Amino acid sequence: MRKILLFSIVLISGILLTGRLFYLQILDTSYATLSVNNAIKRVYDYPQRGHIYDRNGSLLVSNQPSYDVMVIPREVKPFDTTEFCGLLKMTREALKTRLDKARVYSPRLPSIVIPQLTKSEYAYLQEKMRKYEGFYIQKRSLRDYQVDFGANFLGYIAEVNRSDIEDNPYYQSGDLKGRTGVEKQYEETLRGIKGVKYIQKDRFNRDIGAYKNGSLDTIPEPGKDLTLTIDAELQKYGEELMVNKRGGIIAIEPSTGEILALISAPNYDPSLLVGRQRSANFTKLWYDTIAKPLFDRSLQAEYPPGSPFKTLNALIALQENVVDTQESFACHGGYYYGSRGRKLGCHHHPSPLSMVPGIANSCNAYFANVYRRVIDKYDTPQEGMDRWHHHLASFGLGQYMGTDLPTGRPGYIPDSDYYNRAYEYPKYKWFSTATISNSIGQGEVSLTPIQLANVTATIANRGWYYTPHIVKGIEGQTELIPEKYRTKNVTTIDPANFEPVVEGMFGAYNYGTAAGVQIPGIEICGKTGTAENYTKIDGKRQQLTDHSIFVAFAPKDNPKIAIAVFVENGYWGGRYGGKIASLMIEKHIKGEITRTDLEDWILSHSLEEEYAKPLSGKPFPINDGKKISGKVEKPIL
């Protein structure tokens, strides 16, 4: 016993310690991960984000270097604070607070002293920096906007948030990511792929060299440049025209589905969301709940389409063979229906009218008749309704347009289910008269401006369209844009049935409701729209001044541009919408403006007063003071 005690204790201890090592090194694998987190740092090498060009190759968005003044508190030696503060244009107290904060964060890790110096500030500072030990300048890349328009579709980039990081392991805290517009939609194309370097750290988190001699490191892949379908000139001009108005303009090239201009008013300067003032500016835009500058009206606003919708009803009627181009309908200041003499009013125009002049003069009675014939063609109104819905769906209405922009709304096209629910069918029955407002683009139907522009492009093409899209090429190559935007969508309406409608729209421009906006030398086909609209004030439904709507395409044959204009509360179609549309068309086709009277009128007129009315808290007149809101039924153009 005495001889073997120490001997056994030594042996047993050796075995136990070996067992402990076996557990730590072989059985428990969690330590290896802990070690990696603890000792290996990943440093990312961010590639330049791709540039954005317009369809003519002019640069819209590039990158600018930005310079942050950084400090490593431990390495700071005593320095001339007065001079330094002078250079950085900051007070001594501010510098002291910054340095104290940095020291609290970490004496050994860099902290920002002043973020985002401009290029000129940097140039001045650069030579003197070496005098200040512990301070250095770090370069970062920010977006540099060459234009002050187009913020709605260009979108902005912002630091990723927690859910971005959780959703996509590519992103690390501090990374930038497209938030809206093409920056969001084409995020992966524009951003490229960041490179990564693995760095060995010491216990103070300081770098002490490459891990495994850099064998795991990757090289960054640069971001790709985007070419947009937008015509910067046209876009800029459109935004100028929309100053002091609310609404949207969408111009599409019918033969390709390319969006030439996508204007939402009010808009903002995209460079507001870059740099030191970004946060303050964003807050200001975000909390403007009245004008809603961050709300893209061209894609997201769902308006009653008004009279331009009549062209669709005419097409459906022709396709369903319920009317021909010769048959005329009388209009007695409106359309009377139902047993109690209800009336869908109309304005003054020659009567009776057949289809082409019916469109040109936008006769409500004509379209009420035609619409009822479509619905009543079948045994039940349900069947007729669904048939009508089926045709409209082929124009992409009542559903998301599928553009290559991250926002959008489906609008609404009712079907039989909707009315069955609304009228509690079969407890109660409903007939075509119940849905009569659809005939003139009021009632249950709603469209976004881009849907209306696409309808116009489809009419211009006589029956087909490409899904509207905003990207023309990636790195200059058109093949790289998605297949979807290179595939024709054909409507359920025969091409031949489009001709009378085109003629009607041509008539509207020549002698009808849009005769006031003619431009010499261009054959425009247009259609005015004046849409009643309502808002809620203190919970009560209140009518506002009508929206001014206009759709047009030109030239009549081989069209180059199809356009839809919505101006909120612009009173009637020809007043704002028609003028703006014809100016845009002239700008696009001629490249210069001859109707300067129209231009002057638009530029000098503001609707801000109109927009202030519902907020005044008092009863207010609508439609240019002729009526007090919410009182009288009025004719619809």
Partner 1 sequence: MGITSRNNRGNFDWLLIVIFLALIGIGWVNIYSASIDPSGVSDFFDLNNLYTRQLLFIGLSLLIIIFILSLDAKFFERFASVIYVTSILSLLGLFIFGKNISGATSWYSFGSFGLQPSEFAKAATALALAKYLSDIQTDVKSFVHQLRAFVIIALPAICIVPQPDPGSALVYAAFFFPLYREGLSGIYLIIGSITIALFVLTLAFGPIYIIAGIVLIALFLLIKNRKKRFGKRYYYILPLVSIVFVLSVNYIFQNVFEQRHRDRFNVVLGKEVDMKSIGYNTYQSEIAIGNGGLTGKGFLKGTQTKGNFVPEQHTDYIFSTVGEEWGFLGSSLVIILFVGLMLRIIFLAERQKSQFSRIYGYSIAGILFIHFLVNIGMVTGVFPTVGIPLPFFSYGGSGLWGFTILLFIFVKLDSNRVNEW
- Site residues (CB under 8 A) for partner 1? 1-3, 5-7, 9-11, 13-14, 17-18, 20-22, 24-26, 28, 30-32, 34-36, 38-40, 200-203, 208-209, 211
Question: Closest distance between partner 1 and the C-beta of residue 107, in Å?
Answer: 17
Nearer to partner 1 (CB atom), residue 22 or residue 79:
22
Burial class (CB in 10 A: 0-12, 13-18, 19+), 106: middle
Question: Closest distance between partner 1 and the C-beta of residue 75, in Å?
Answer: 15
Considering just the CA atoms, what is the radius of gyration of the chain in Å? 33
Question: Closest distance between partner 1 and the C-beta of residue 17, in Å?
Answer: 5
Nearer to partner 1 (CB atom), residue 29 or residue 604:
29
* Whether 505 contacts 526, CB under 8 Å: yes
* Whether 250 contacts 264, CB under 8 Å: no
Question: Closest distance between partner 1 and the C-beta of residue 192, in Å?
Answer: 30
Question: Closest distance between partner 1 and the C-beta of residue 199, in Å?
Answer: 10
Nearer to partner 1 (CB atom), residue 20 or residue 590:
20
| Residues forming beta bridges with residue 550, ordered by sequence position | 528, 565
The pairing of strands 258-265 and 621-622 is unpaired
DSSP-assigned letters across all residues of 85-147: HHHHT--HHHHHHHHHHHHHH-SSS-EEEEEEE-HHHHHHHHTTGGGSTTEEEEEEEEEEES-
Question: Closest distance between partner 1 and the C-beta of residue 13, in Å?
Answer: 5
Question: Closest distance between partner 1 and the C-beta of residue 104, in Å?
Answer: 18
Nearer to partner 1 (CB atom), residue 216 or residue 219:
216
Question: Closest distance between partner 1 and the C-beta of residue 195, in Å?
Answer: 21
The Cα 291–Cα 424 span in angstroms is: 38
The Cα 545–Cα 621 span in angstroms is: 8
Helix (H) or strand (E) holding 250: strand 247-253
Nearer to partner 1 (CB atom), residue 22 or residue 534:
22
- H-only helix segments in 287-363: 297-300, 308-319, 355-361
| Whole-Å CA distances, 135 to 122, 256, 275, 437, 577 | 14, 55, 21, 71, 58
Burial class (CB in 10 A: 0-12, 13-18, 19+), 86: exposed
Q: Beta-strand (E) ranges in 306-445?
A: 334-337, 342-345
- CB-side exposure of 280: number of CA atoms within 13 Å? 3
| Residues forming beta bridges with residue 342, ordered by sequence position | 337
Question: Closest distance between partner 1 and the C-beta of residue 163, in Å?
Answer: 28
DSSP-assigned letters across all residues of 587-616: HHHHSS-S-HHHHHHHHH---HHHHHGGGS
* Whether 230 contacts 259, CB under 8 Å: yes
Q: Go through 373-385 and write b for each residue having 16 or more CB atoms within 10 A of its CB, e for each that does not.
A: bbbebeeebbebb
Question: Closest distance between partner 1 and the C-beta of residue 162, in Å?
Answer: 24
| Residues forming beta bridges with residue 200, ordered by sequence position | 40
Question: Closest distance between partner 1 and the C-beta of residue 35, in Å?
Answer: 4
Sheet holding 258-265, edge to edge: 258-265, 247-253, 561-567, 540-554, 525-537
Torsion of the alpha carbons at 219, 222, 223 and 224, rounded to the nearest 10: -130
Helix (H, G, I), strand (E, B) or coil at 195: strand
Nearer to partner 1 (CB atom), residue 19 or residue 65:
19
Nearer to partner 1 (CB atom), residue 212 or residue 626:
212
CA 520 to the chain's CA centroid: 34
Question: Closest distance between partner 1 and the C-beta of residue 217, in Å?
Answer: 16
Question: Closest distance between partner 1 and the C-beta of residue 200, in Å?
Answer: 6
